[in-house]
């Protein structure tokens, strides 16, 4: 996939794009068979639009490489530095936790307590995922497979956790707007 033009002025993120595009190769999203890189591209764009640093946008590009490719955090650290690797690590699930609900709860805890940049990265990822969820719902009438409701529960719990740590961040506001288009969302306490 071709790198988005906004990466031209972000050298770390541009290098991250080449690396991630190579690693993800011909992977496709399960929900719609679109090229997998469409998701990291959207996450990076959301972060860039919110004024994120080059390192944070790079982490947005790379955020799924450890979970979905043979790439390690050590490799990301070697290529892009500890700042990027720490951000990617903050939003990477622990594959040793077998239970979906426990694994996602641990991920939320890890992401929202790793600092504001990691929480913003987590928020951007969830905005993109909620949009994908809504698109998948729209294809059900045409015979598409419905998304799993547990994903929506995870996205809602993510929003509530994010509202506790970075309540006024524009990506958290966007996540609330996206979720409210699908379901009523409780107010964070």
pTM value?
0.95
**Residue 180 reports pLDDT greater than 80:** yes
Show the domains of the chain with their CATH numbers: 7-180 (1.10.3210.10)
pLDDT at 188: 64
For the chain, how big is the Rg over CA atoms in Å?
Answer: 16
pLDDT bin (cut points 50, 70, 90) of residue 89 is: very high
pLDDT at 31: 81
pLDDT bin (cut points 50, 70, 90) of residue 189 is: low
Q: Quick check: 136 and 145 in contact, CB under 8 A?
A: yes
pLDDT (tens digit per residue) in 38-86: 999 999 999 999 999 999 999 999 999 999 999 999 999 999 999 999 9
Higher pLDDT, 147 or 101: 101
pLDDT (tens digit per residue) in 103-157: 999 999 999 999 999 999 999 999 999 999 999 988 888 888 888 899 999 999 9
pLDDT at 1: 87
**Residue 187 reports pLDDT greater than 80:** no
Would you call 52 exposed, middle or buried from its count of C-beta atoms within 10 A (0-12, 13-18, 19+)? buried
pLDDT bin (cut points 50, 70, 90) of residue 32 is: confident
pLDDT at 141: 81
């Amino acid at each position: 996939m071709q790198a988005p033009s906004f990466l031209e002025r972000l050298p770390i993120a541009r290098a991250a794009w080449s690396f991630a595009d190579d690693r993800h190769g011909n992977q496709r999203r399960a929900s719609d068979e679109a090229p997998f890189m469409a998701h990291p591209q959207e996450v990076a764009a959301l972060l860039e639009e919110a004024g994120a640093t080059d390192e944070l946008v790079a982490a947005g590009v790379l955020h799924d490489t450890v979970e979905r490719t043979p790439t390690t955090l050590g490799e990301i650290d070697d290529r892009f530095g500890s700042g990027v690797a720490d951000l990617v690590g903050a939003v990477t699930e622990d594959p040793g936790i077998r239970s979906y609900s426990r694994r996602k709860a641990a991920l939320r805890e890890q992401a929202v307590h790793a600092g504001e940049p990691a929480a913003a990265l987590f928020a951007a990822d969830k905005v993109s995922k909620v949009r994908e969820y809504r698109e998948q719902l729209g294809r059900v009438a045409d015979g598409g497979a419905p998304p799993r409701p547990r994903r929506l529960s995870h996205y809602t719990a993510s929003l509530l956790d994010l509202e506790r740590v970075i309540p006024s961040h524009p990506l958290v506001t966007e996540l609330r707007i996206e979720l409210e288009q699908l379901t009523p969302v409780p107010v964070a306490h």
